[in-house]
Amino acid sequence: MSDKSIGLAAAFSELDLSPATLEILEQRNYQRPTPIQAMVIPKLSANERDMIAQAQTGTGKTAAYALPIIEKLLQGKHGKQPRAIILAPTRELAMQITQEIELFIGSRQLKAAALYGGQPIEIQLRALKGGVDIAVGTPGRILDLMERSALKLDFIEFAVLDEADEMLDMGFVEDIENILSATPQEKRMLMFSATVPAEARKIAENFMVDAEYVVAPVTDAEKSAPLTEQWACEVRREDKCNALKRILNAEGRIYGMIFCRTRADVDELTMNLQKNKFRAEALHGELTQNQRTRVIEQFKAHRFDMLVATDVAARGIDINDLTHVINYSLPTDKDIYTHRIGRTGRAGKKGVAISLFTPSEGGRFAMLRKASAGHLEQRALPDAKAIIAAKKSRFRDEAEALMPQVNNAYLRMAEELTAVYDPEILIAALLEMKFHKELLHENYPPLGRGKRERAFGSDRGSRGEKRNRSDRAERSASDRDRGKRPPRHRSKEQTDLAGKSEKNTEVFKEKKHSVNVENTPRDNGKSRSGRTKLRDWALELTAGDAEFAKRKGKKRKDK
């Protein structure tokens, strides 16, 4: 199902945009509108209705609402108070939206400002004092500026909730309601979200009038063969890190995000990956704003390959061209899973979403597989053969690409070495210097549980096995009720050990009765139990009779 078959514009020139905006889009290499842009831009340009637009992250939602808002504001009067306010869940998304809007504005007479926590508020106060047309910010900082009377929303014409579901999930419901209550009733309100939960519908009922509901279409090709390939591996908890490293080795060059549950998991995994020569960096809530900004900018510039993050830290971060999303910790909710894997497989490019889960998480995996409509496949971990083949293939590709431009100094060195040594042995030695044990099968012992077709959460074992286990449990319970211990089923090794223990006991008893009583000190006439203490047995076995008596006598004197 193509864009034309569902009545969508195939080019930005078909939309109601000014020549100046079209020129900016052409300069920025915006070739054709995405489905959500083709649906939303004409509606915002033509009618005056509020709108709820549902589309996945990374489908061009910012341009869908920013372009028509910019066109409308350029037709009105310019003042110092903002005429459009855009709320975002995180500071990173607020900065990203502001940067994109500034690109769309170009040299035209409009100003946008990012208002978020973590930046000195004085900078934002000066920006507002100089006049702002579009205010983009997080709910907390927006309220702070409103309480300081630095930000007034009396002239708002457009109010936008971007990533509304994430904002509501983060607990911003009350803040959003307070902000919207301070805006004029005649404004136009827009809500953009990947999902529309109950809280979002409640806000729509309270603050939107006759809202139009728009859903980005999914083509038949996307339904049958989605751009994101999804698969998962079952591994033991203690094997998780090694399993991930094997997947990374087998997948080859990766530019992706790895999601963990906690900050500690992020730090531990990042350090482990770095020790194993993977280019990875961490992103979590304990980093300062400057550190977060630097890490994200370096990742966007491809300074490293993998960003290890928590869900909270990664909210609102929109990074293009991700090849992989890896769930090192399985998400607890299907919406979180959708948000995570939606970061790859965009704009017609293929992506891969890989999940690791432990045996105890089988039920959660089954839930996610059901929610994915069967697209989430369970696979075995890459074995030694697959990993070694991938490493060899990458090495050949790299060597082949380097051959036409190899330095002459190395060619002369190669001639000198091959004149002395056998070329095959020489190359083999060089390969061993480079790979060490990486190409040896014994370097990859079996991990994980492998691919097994089983129904997670169902009872395991046959009826006979269940009945036997049940009978044993009932017999053990009845024995405990009568004060008896249930019989222990010993293996052959345990039986042999028990026999040796009984023989040693007999030896101990014989030595106990053979102690020289004359050389053994008395306890000052006090009666002594006929049973020798275990401490005395240990001394008796490790020393002669005289030494034994000497040690016991010295101990009593110390007392």
- Read off the pLDDT of residues 48-60 as tens digits, 9 standing for 90 and up: 889 999 887 677 8
Neighbours of 128 (CB within 10 A): 19
Q: Is the dihedral of CA 127, 132, 134, 137 positive or negative?
A: positive
The pLDDT mean for the chain works out to 80
Average pLDDT for residues 87-107, to the nearest whole number?
Answer: 91
How far is 60 from 41, CA to CA, in rounded Å? Answer: 11
Residue 115: predicted pLDDT: 95
Residue 226 predicted with pLDDT over 70: no
C-alpha angle 271/274/450, rounded to 5°? 85
The pLDDT tens digits of the residues spanning 442-461 come to: 888 887 554 444 444 444 44
Structure confidence by residue, pLDDT tens digits, 526-559: 444 444 444 454 455 445 555 545 555 555 554 4
Place of tokens 């996307």: 222
For the segment 310-364, what is each residue's pLDDT rounded down to a tens digit?
Answer: 987 777 677 878 999 999 999 888 888 888 888 887 766 789 999 999 999 989 9
Nearest residue to 158 via CA among 140, 124, 133, 121 = 133
Q: For residues 521 and 442, which has the higher predicted lDDT (pLDDT)?
A: 442
pLDDT of 270 higher than 90: yes
Under a CB-based contact definition with an 8 Å cutoff, are residues 41 and 17 in contact? Answer: yes
From CA 432, how far away is CA 330, in angstroms rounded? 37
Q: What is the mean pLDDT of residues 394-421?
A: 91
Weakest mean pLDDT among 98-107, 141-150, 208-217, 278-287: 208-217
| pLDDT score recorded for residue 553 | 53
DSSP 3-state of 42 = helix
Q: How confident is the model at residue 418 (pLDDT cuts 50, 70, 90)?
A: very high
Average pLDDT over residues 416-429: 91
**DSSP string for residues in 209-227:** SSPEEEE----HHHHHS-S
- When mean pLDDT is compared across 72-86, 392-406, 505-519, the lowest value belongs to 505-519
DSSP 3-state assignment of 89?
coil
> Where residue 479 falls among pLDDT bands split at 50, 70, 90?
very low
Enter the tokens of residue 377: 């496949």
Neighbours of 248 (CB within 10 A): 24
**What pLDDT is recorded for position 407?**
92
Integer Cα distance of 50 and 214 in angstroms? 11
Q: Considering just the CA atoms, what is the radius of gyration of the chain in Å?
A: 35
| 14-40: average pLDDT | 89
Q: Is the pLDDT of residue 287 over 90?
A: no
pLDDT score recorded for residue 493: 53
Among 142-156, 177-191, 369-383, the range scoring the smallest mean pLDDT is: 369-383
| Distance, CA of 7 to CA of 208 (rounded, Å) | 27
Better-predicted residue by pLDDT, 287 or 241: 241
- Which residues sit opposite 310 in a β-bridge? 260
Beta-carbon contacts of residue 330 (< 8 Å; ≥ 6 apart): 355, 356, 357, 361, 364, 365, 368
Element holding 52 (H helix, E strand): strand 51-54
pTM over 0.85? The answer is no
Residue 112 has pLDDT above 90, yes or no: yes
pLDDT at 194: 78
